[in-house]
Chains A and B, each alone.
Chain A
Amino acid sequence: MATIAEPLAKRRSAHPAVRFLGRLFREKPLGAIGGVVFLAFLFVGVFADLLAPYGANHINPINRLKPPSWAFPFGTDNLGRDILSRCIYGAQLSVIIGFCAAGLATLISVVIGIVTGYLGGKVDLITQRFVDAWQSFPVLIVLIVAVSVVGPGMPQIIVTLGLLLGIAGSRIIRSAVVSVRENMYVHAAQSIGASTPRILVRHILPNVLPPIIVLFTTRVGVVIVTESALSFLGLGVPPPAPTWGGMLSGSGRAFMFHGPWLALAPGLCLTIVVYATNMFGDALRDLFDPRMRGSR
């Protein structure tokens, strides 16, 4: 008997995270697949050095512009570099930039959103005006201008993207905070004399965690696609870094007419990762926020 009761008991006391994963796979299979692809992408990025058959900038003049084969599954480029290896190292760069910039952006959004949303009043009004002005500029244009000032390079891209998306995203956190602020437990905390920082961290923050997680996930996709657009324009991480966007532009572009596989692999990687991130983010939002459900 005990053998039967044991798994049942285990199931009942399953960790909330495990239960959440179960719901994800049952209710949002496409989002779950997106999540799996997202994890696979993370795995490839972290272990790029072990997975890539060749170095990212391993130049091999004998194998210039080779079409896809067993030795080079995605073919080689005009310098004889293996495109599969470059795509794998590209995933590494995307993971680093995506997670760092999205993390920074989320952090900035949370700080601005929580403080202005909770305090309200003049601070809120002035900050919102500033966010308004900031938002009236296209992200890509601001980035191009910013890069023209700070110069291209990975740290610059991460900081500018993080700052830019962070300010824009503060709206989402702010509106979540405004609706949480009026809850009874917040008033209770205020009435027993809890300090503002304590209320913000102990009472507001845990309750706006779902939108924060969703914001972070969707931001990773946005960052990856924006960074590749910048690299494509020659303003991202400078060559020979194997960014997906950079692989589609620059010196390789002239050779695409002789080797169309040059144009395929990096774009495909980008599309799959962004698609997976979007599906995963959508699924998380639907599960976390029941009000959004139905507006598929």
Chain B
Amino acid sequence: MQAYIARRLLALMPTLFLASLIVFVTVRLVPGSVIDLMLAQNDISADKYSREQLVATLGLDKPMWEQYGGWIGGILLHADFGRSLWHNTPVGELLAARLPVTFELGLMALVVALTVAIPIGTYSAMRQDTAGDYIGRSFSILMLAVPSFWMGTMVMVFPSIWWGWSPEVKFVTFRESPLQNLSQMILPAIILGTSLSAVTMRLTRTMMLEVLRQDYIRTAWAKGLTEKLVVSRHALRNALIPVVTLVGLQAELLIGGAVIMEQIFVIPGMGLLLLDAVNQRDYPVITGVFLIVGVVVMVINLLVDLSYGLLDPKVRYR
């Protein structure tokens, strides 16, 4: 097991290296115009820095490989992502403040998605081609098509018109007031979660249909087990393994969706940080967020692969 983890982590290295290179080169693809844009758009930096100073601050005067070495070295050795060009705070600090918020939103959305998808998907499979099955499936296909930003917009607009109710705009952290924080997060989490649940629901149903036709399920029935036991102990456990893979694949959708939800509900997470940084062309922040998001997605996928061992006794890591 340890050897497997070590090998997986080692295999992550080239991917991470390539990823960091992509980030680095993308942002520096048009260095001249970046400086021009900064001078034109950021009055503050135009006051503070001259053109040459700006180039020096961004480190663009050095050769490309040296820039990359310095940048990646800073991150690896002392978690130094550079400083924000706009407020001069270390990017690492900004990331540390924003990451937990997005993580909380994503986790809540995932919980919503699974609590919606797995019971309905299971029910759909158990009662295949009944009215309930059709309703569940139609709902899931519809949720696939409704864009989450439209849903979020409607949730902001219509309750406010009908009942004069609107979500709190001033964000409260979990530490300050857990209850208020959760009540703020629950709406975006539900919207994000239901939009993700559609695919999970369809996969749960397909896998359950397949598993319910297996011999060991017939054996379980023949032993006289109740439906509850057959489904929960014998069928679901086997049907859920591909579903877990899907959750790993959805990590990137979860983070992408979180950006939109943070924008609509004014939640100060990574997404809002990124959008603000993009509007201000704050490149150290952009690269920092980009890299962290990539690492998070890779780690989630690694954890997903490791969780197979807990779910499926047939899987052995070598």
Residues of chain A touching chain B, judged by Cβ–Cβ distance below 8 Å, are: 129-130, 132-142, 144-150, 225, 228-229, 232-235, 245, 248-249, 253, 256-257, 260, 263, 266-267, 270-272, 274-275, 278-279, 295-296
Contacts of A129 in B (CB 8 A): 14-15, 18
Q: How far is the CA of A140 from the CA of B297 in the complex (A)?
A: 13
Residue B286 at the A interface, CB < 8 A?
Answer: yes
Chain B at the A interface: SS class = helix
B259 close to A263 (CB less than 8 A): no
Q: How far is the CA of A248 from the CA of B279 in the complex (A)?
A: 19
Question: A231 → chain B, closest Cβ, in Å?
Answer: 10
Contacts of A267 in B (CB 8 A): 146-147, 150, 153-154
A149 close to B145 (CB less than 8 A): no
Extra 11 A-B pairs, beta carbons < 8 Å, given A141-B259, A149-B27 = A141-B256, A141-B274, A141-B293, A144-B259, A148-B286, A149-B29, A149-B34, A248-B149, A248-B153, A267-B150, A296-B202
A134 close to B22 (CB less than 8 A): yes
Contacts of B157 in A (CB 8 A): 256-257, 260, 263
Q: How far is the CA of A129 from the CA of B255 in the complex (A)?
A: 22
Identify which of residues 254-292 in chain B touch chain A, using a CB-to-CB cut-off of 8 Å. Answer: 255-257, 259-260, 263, 274-275, 277-279, 281, 286, 289-290
7 A–B contacts, CB within 8 A, in A order = A130-B18, A140-B257, A145-B26, A260-B157, A267-B147, A270-B147, A296-B137
Contacts of B279 in A (CB 8 A): 234
B142 close to A232 (CB less than 8 A): no
Q: How far is the CA of A135 from the CA of B147 in the complex (A)?
A: 22
Interface size on B, residues (CB 8 A): 52
Residue B99 at the A interface, CB < 8 A?
Answer: no
Q: How far is the CA of A33 from the CA of B146 in the complex (A)?
A: 18
Contacts of A225 in B (CB 8 A): 147
Identify which of residues 1-31 in chain B touch chain A, using a CB-to-CB cut-off of 8 Å. Answer: 14-16, 18-19, 22-23, 26-27, 29-30
Q: How far is the CA of A253 from the CA of B144 in the complex (A)?
A: 24
Q: Which residue of A lies closest to B161 (CB)?
A: A260
Contacts of A266 in B (CB 8 A): 150
Contacts of B298 in A (CB 8 A): 136
A233 close to B19 (CB less than 8 A): no
Contacts of A142 in B (CB 8 A): 290
Task: State the 5 A-B residue pairs at the shortest beta-carbon distance, nearest first.
Answer: A267-B150, A140-B256, A275-B145, A133-B18, A138-B252
Contacts of B23 in A (CB 8 A): 145
Q: How far is the CA of A266 from the CA of B277 in the complex (A)?
A: 28
Contacts of B286 in A (CB 8 A): 145, 148
Q: How far is the CA of A266 from the CA of B297 in the complex (A)?
A: 32
Among A138, A256, A274, A275, contact of B153 (Cβ-Cβ < 8 Å) = A256
Contacts of B206 in A (CB 8 A): 295-296
B278 close to A148 (CB less than 8 A): yes
Q: Which residue of A lies closest to B210 (CB)?
A: A295
Contacts of A232 in B (CB 8 A): 149, 260
Question: A103 → chain B, closest Cβ, in Å?
Answer: 22
A139 close to B252 (CB less than 8 A): yes
* Known contacts A233-B275, A248-B153; A141 and B26 CB within 8 A of each other: no
A229 close to B15 (CB less than 8 A): no
Residue B107 at the A interface, CB < 8 A?
Answer: no
* Known contacts A136-B15, A257-B157; A144 and B147 CB within 8 A of each other: no
A136 close to B294 (CB less than 8 A): yes
Question: A32 → chain B, closest Cβ, in Å?
Answer: 15
Contacts of B289 in A (CB 8 A): 141
Question: B150 → chain A, closest Cβ, in Å?
Answer: 3
Among A132, A234, A271, contact of B150 (Cβ-Cβ < 8 Å) = A271
Q: Which residue of A lies closest to B21 (CB)?
A: A133
Q: How far is the CA of A235 from the CA of B141 in the complex (A)?
A: 28
Among A130, A263, A274, contact of B154 (Cβ-Cβ < 8 Å) = A263
Residue B158 at the A interface, CB < 8 A?
Answer: yes
B149 close to A145 (CB less than 8 A): no
Residue B57 at the A interface, CB < 8 A?
Answer: no
Identify which of residues 86-138 in chain B touch chain A, using a CB-to-CB cut-off of 8 Å. Answer: 137
Q: How far is the CA of A225 from the CA of B161 in the complex (A)?
A: 27
Q: How far is the CA of A130 from the CA of B23 in the complex (A)?
A: 13
Residue B160 at the A interface, CB < 8 A?
Answer: yes
Contacts of A278 in B (CB 8 A): 141, 144-145
Residue B253 at the A interface, CB < 8 A?
Answer: yes
A136 close to B297 (CB less than 8 A): yes
Contacts of B161 in A (CB 8 A): 257, 260
Among B30, B34, B144, B149, contact of A229 (Cβ-Cβ < 8 Å) = B149
Question: A264 → chain B, closest Cβ, in Å?
Answer: 8
Question: B289 → chain A, closest Cβ, in Å?
Answer: 8
Q: How far is the CA of A134 from the CA of B20 in the complex (A)?
A: 10
B278 close to A145 (CB less than 8 A): yes
Q: Which residue of B lies closest to A129 (CB)?
A: B14
A260 close to B158 (CB less than 8 A): yes
Q: How far is the CA of A130 from the CA of B263 in the complex (A)?
A: 31
B18 close to A145 (CB less than 8 A): no
Contacts of B275 in A (CB 8 A): 144, 233
Q: How far is the CA of A74 from the CA of B279 in the complex (A)?
A: 32
Among A138, A148, A248, A274, contact of B297 (Cβ-Cβ < 8 Å) = A138
Q: How far is the CA of A64 from the CA of B137 in the complex (A)?
A: 41
Question: A244 → chain B, closest Cβ, in Å?
Answer: 9
Q: Which residue of A lies closest to B279 (CB)?
A: A234
A274 close to B145 (CB less than 8 A): yes
Choose among A133, A150, A275 the residue with the greatest number of B CB atoms under 10 Å from its CB.
A133
Question: B278 → chain A, closest Cβ, in Å?
Answer: 4
* Known contacts A137-B19, A137-B294; A274 and B147 CB within 8 A of each other: yes
